[in-house]
DNA sequence: CAGTAATTTCATAAATCAGTGAAATGTGAT
DNA sequence: ATCACATTTCACTGATTTATGAAATTACTG
């Protein structure tokens, strides 16, 4: 059975893959990512995933086992890349400012930019993935636990850096600010089109450069204010 | 058929209701609200709703027709109350400040407070409802359209008031700020418990007074900064 | 080419789903 | 009491779901 973790590893990957044709395993993940991100876990059937990927449903079970395992594979696939990019961005900023003061806004940029940059590559897969993360983030039943499992380490790096930049800040406030930040960021990256309709197309959900610039300002000013008010 | 709109109106309500027993129609909506808010539309079966409400599945179809119509009834039920409270809060602030300057933060409060207050009543139904709205807000497939249908009018009132308070602001920036605000607000009201776990219980998702005070500061400062930077 | 293991397809099991029609029950008016 | 109508329950259908086991196919190795 290929969906056991042992054989899904990289050692056999070279042997498993054909020289030319499309990688069906990745095609399945792409199709699942696309559909799950739009309709949620329960809104998608493995048959639909199979149809979009152009494979038989049995093949999905062969590679990934149960439907929930397929979902977990989708969620995990890009998490490492994203976390790596974020950790590197935060570390790079810290390395470049060892002696002097740390700028909270720059730290926030290091946290936000990797996501926006990945989405701006135009890779539809990343857009789907961020929609999926936003959906999970707002799923009370198991979203919090899932988010924590994959993203807590990098969030801790963010909070650590913000604490170093704002040593007078109360610990609690940093966490609350993170929650506000991620709520705004996730919704923006979902590109639901609501803002377009609401503003009469004055704003475009897909214009992530507009989001980026304003989100910097929004979060940095919000953080400063929350920290400085004694609540 | 009771699920036709004609007979669902209020005229027959008095005759339909028994003098004593529980209102099964409301029980069904409560159960559906609870389950939909936790697992999403597709994550809930009509049978589950029936079980939680303690009624037969056929009764749900009798009252509400198809499953999607049930969902729409749940979503619409509290929307009017919420919109009324928000419109009144905005209007009240405007009425109290006809001559002088308008304070953007006070306008934001008028938009945020009704939601937090309703959630703080302790009525589990309202908490479920806000979870549901947050879920819909982050549902790309049909969430944007649904949100617009129910909440656009009150959002326009918010934007109008902010424009009056900040006449020098660019129109686009007001909409972007609204999006950031609602992303943070919806996530906070979802009370997913993630912030609790992340902060080592330094923050409590359920402590909406902590959210309220910080969200005021966060949004007001963010708005000022976004508007003042020329982007 | 023969042999072996991985991959892919086929057929189907077993459970569950949304939704329906008719019967049964309750309720209020006359 | 009886009639009309609203409500509730029961029994069920047809479609669809996840998932499996076996067969067929493909790719690689010696």
- The 10s digit of each residue's pLDDT in B112-126 is 999 999 999 988 999
Cβ burial of A111 (10 Å; 0-12, 13-18, 19+) is buried
| pLDDT tens figures, B4-34 | 543 433 334 434 454 455 799 999 999 999 9
Tokens of A175: 């966490």
pLDDT at A21 over 70: no
Work out the end-to-end distance of chain A between its first and last CA atoms, rounded to an integer number of angstroms.
Answer: 57
Q: Report d(CA A115, CA A131) in Å as an integer.
A: 12
Q: Which residue in this structure is represented by tokens 């998490």? A: A79
Any idea what the Cα angle at residue B186 is, between residues A153 and A148, rounded to 5°?
Answer: 20
- Over residues A195-224, the mean pLDDT reads 97
pLDDT for residue A8: 36
pLDDT for residue A205: 96
Cβ contact, residue pair A214, B226, below 8 Å: yes
| pLDDT tens figures, B130-141 | 999 999 999 998
Please name the member of B148, B178, B221 whose beta carbon is closest to the beta carbon of A224. B221
B169 in Cβ contact with B104 (< 8 Å): no
Higher per-residue pLDDT: A138 or B110: B110
CA-based nearest residue to B135, from B190, B191, B207: B190
pLDDT at A3 over 70: no
Nearest CA in chain A to B189: A138
B163 to chain A, any CB pair closer than 8 A? The answer is no
Please name the member of A152, A179, A199 whose beta carbon is closest to the beta carbon of B175. A199
Higher per-residue pLDDT: B231 or B224: B224
Residues of chain A with CATH 1.10.10.60: 3-64
A227 in Cβ contact with B217 (< 8 Å): no
Q: Which of A35, A180, A188, A196 to mutate to test the interface with B (most CBs of B within 10 A)?
A: A180
- Over residues B206-230, the mean pLDDT reads 96
CATH number of B3-64: 1.10.10.60
Which architecture, in CATH terms, is A77-229?
A: Orthogonal Bundle (1.10)
B38 in Cβ contact with B73 (< 8 Å): no
- Listed as ranges, the nucleotides of chain D within 7 A of a protein C-beta are 6-11, 16-22, 26-29
CA distance B91 to chain A (A): 21
Name the residue with the least CA to C1' distance from nucleotide C11: A58
Residues of chain B with CATH 1.10.357.10: 77-229
Residue B15 Cβ under 7 A from any strand D atom? yes
A138 to chain B, any CB pair closer than 8 A? The answer is yes
Biggest CA-to-CA distance, chain A: 63
Cβ burial of B96 (10 Å; 0-12, 13-18, 19+) is exposed
pLDDT at A140 over 80: yes
B139 to chain A, any CB pair closer than 8 A? The answer is yes
Cβ contact, residue pair A175, B199, below 8 Å: yes
Q: Which residues of B touch A187 (CB under 8 A)?
A: 137-138, 179-180, 182-183, 186
Give, in order, the Cα–Cα distances in Å from B62 to each of B21, B26, B49: 19, 14, 14
| pLDDT band, very low/low/confident/very high, at B200 (cuts 50, 70, 90) | very high
pLDDT for residue A228: 95
- Over residues A202-208, the mean pLDDT reads 97
- Over residues A187-215, the mean pLDDT reads 96
pLDDT for residue A59: 97
B72-CA/D3-C1' distance, Å: 37
pLDDT at B177 over 70: yes
pLDDT for residue B144: 87
pLDDT for residue B18: 47
The kind and range of the H/E element at B23 are: none
Residues A76, A52, B146, B220: is their CA dihedral positive or negative? positive
Q: Report d(CA B214, CA B207) in Å as an integer.
A: 11
A171 to chain B, any CB pair closer than 8 A? The answer is yes
Tokens of A49: 């995933």
B171 to chain A, any CB pair closer than 8 A? The answer is yes
Q: Report d(CA B92, CA B95) in Å as an integer.
A: 5
Q: Report d(CA A52, CA A55) in Å as an integer.
A: 8
pLDDT for residue B226: 98
Q: Which residues of A touch B198 (CB under 8 A)?
A: 148, 152, 155, 175, 178
| pLDDT band, very low/low/confident/very high, at B231 (cuts 50, 70, 90) | low
pLDDT for residue B122: 81
Q: Report d(CA A83, CA A81) in Å as an integer.
A: 6
- Over residues B103-110, the mean pLDDT reads 98
Residue A67 Cβ under 7 A from any strand D atom? yes
| pLDDT tens figures, B33-88 | 999 999 999 999 999 999 999 999 999 999 999 999 999 999 999 999 999 999 99
Q: Which residues of B touch A188 (CB under 8 A)?
A: 179-180, 183
């Amino acid at each position: 059975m290929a969906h056991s973790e042992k054989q899904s590893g990289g050692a056999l990957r070279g042997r498993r893959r054909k020289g030319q044709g499309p990688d069906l395993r990745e095609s399945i993940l792409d199709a699942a990512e696309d559909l799950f991100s739009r309709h949620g876990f329960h809104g998608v059937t493995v048959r639909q995933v199979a149809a979009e990927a152009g494979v038989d449903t049995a093949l999905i079970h062969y590679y990934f086992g149960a439907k929930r395992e397929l979902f977990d594979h989708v969620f995990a696939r890009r998490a490492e890349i994203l976390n790596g990019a974020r950790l590197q961005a935060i570390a790079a900023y810290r390395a470049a400012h060892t002696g002097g003061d740390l700028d909270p806004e720059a730290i926030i940029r290091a946290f936000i930019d990797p996501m926006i940059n990945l989405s701006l590559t135009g890779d539809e897969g990343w857009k789907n993935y961020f929609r999926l993360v936003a959906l999970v983030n707002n799923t009370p039943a198991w979203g919090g636990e899932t988010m924590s499992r994959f993203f807590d380490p990098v969030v801790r790096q963010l909070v650590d850096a913000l604490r170093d930049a704002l040593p007078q800040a109360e610990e609690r406030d940093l966490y609350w600010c993170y929650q506000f930040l991620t709520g705004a960021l996730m919704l923006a990256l979902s590109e639901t089109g609501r803002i377009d309709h609401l503003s009469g197309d004055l704003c475009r959900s897909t214009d992530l450069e507009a989001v980026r610039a304003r989100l910097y300002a929004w979060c940095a000013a919000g953080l400063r204010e929350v920290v400085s008010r004694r609540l």
